[in-house]
Chains A and B, each alone.
Chain A
Amino acid sequence: MSLTVESLGIDKLSIEERLQLIDLIWDSLPQSFEPTEIPEWHIAELEKRRAAVDAQPGVGILWRGMIPGLRDNTTCDRINVPSEPLGGKIVPETKRTLDELAKLGGEIFDQQIRPMLRTEDHGKFVAIDVETGAYEVDEDDYTAVARLRSRNPEADVWLMRAGYPTAYRIGAIR
């Protein structure tokens, strides 16, 4: 007889009790688990999906280009996903130390840029040339910096995010 929520009495639990049960089950799992065998149906499904993707090369959108479009409900064709290879090109380097960039970039952002930002800029990346105070705003961090460097290839760049204390969030340092 297969397990069901009814046979286990789960349907009689409150939502909080069910969430607590999920935690209990999760904690009961061993730290390491080595599956001895992958079921045939699973292998068949994986092969089927892989064949479907391989049959249509180029279909699909990189997450990097897709997410900004989802956020503002626009199509992805306005998202500039960098694709030109770097190979053989000289890429300008930022000259100042990290502390100098952070201090100057933070001051310029607070004093000059933050008052100029619009409501719709919330959450967008702000690339700042700490030498000149020039800046670019874009939903994509790479695009913001690339546009700033197209104006001044030698820019010393500090990256912020409008409406947030930092540009990024990192889940964990191990």
Chain B
Amino acid sequence: MICGVVNAQHEALVRLKMRGPGGIESDVDFIVDSGFTASLTLPRGVVTALGLPRHSGSNAVLADGIVRQFDVFAAEVEWDGTWRRVFVSVIDAESELSLT
């Protein structure tokens, strides 16, 4: 079971452990966003700290209709006790977790 909290802004937060290919781990608080269709997004600083390799490029349409390109990185996330490979998008915003 994955537990989280709801903050004062009514945002659902979960804390997940992320790991890069070099074995560096970090706990990251993610906002659960039901309007987000990718897996995870992280601030660039966290990606750098974890030493994540740049895996591909892609794009997304934001809520205001603007299309933004972003780098996609490969990482692992501890999900309910199991390490899983995931794509991580970097959009220079807060950490978000998709719920779609």
Q: Kindly list the 8 A-B residue pairs having the minimum CB-CB distance in the complex, ordered from nearest.
A: A171-B35, A157-B56, A101-B57, A168-B60, A159-B58, A82-B85, A32-B8, A91-B53
B38-66: which residues lie under 8 A (CB-CB) from chain A?
38-39, 41, 53-63
Secondary structure at the B interface, as helix, strand, loop or mixed, is strand
Q: Which residues of A contact B20 (CB under 8 A)?
A: 86
Are B85 and A88 within 8 A (Cβ)? no
CB-based nearest A residue for B3:
A50
CB-based nearest A residue for B66:
A173
B interface residue count range (under 10 / 10 to 19 / 20 to 34 / 35 or more):
35 or more
- In the complex, B26 has a CB within 8 A of chain A: no
- Encode A30-46 as 1/0 by CB contact (under 8 A) with B: 01110000000000000
B residues near A, CB below 8 A?
1, 8-9, 19-21, 23, 31, 33-39, 41, 53-63, 67-72, 74-76, 79-87, 89, 91, 93-94, 96, 99-100
A interface residue count range (under 10 / 10 to 19 / 20 to 34 / 35 or more):
35 or more
- In the complex, A72 has a CB within 8 A of chain B: no
Q: Which residues of A contact B62 (CB under 8 A)?
A: 170, 172-173
Q: In the complex, what's the smallest C-beta–C-beta distance from A23 to chain B, in angstroms?
A: 15
Secondary structure at the A interface, as helix, strand, loop or mixed, is loop
CA distance A40 to B26 in the complex (A): 35
CA distance A169 to B39 in the complex (A): 11
Contact A94 to B38, CB < 8 A, known contacts A31-B8, A54-B1, A172-B63: no
A residues near B, CB below 8 A?
31-33, 49-50, 53-54, 57, 60, 62-64, 67, 81-94, 96, 98-99, 101-102, 105, 127, 141-142, 145, 156-160, 165-174
CB-based nearest B residue for A128:
B56
Q: Which residues of B contact A105 (CB under 8 A)?
A: 57
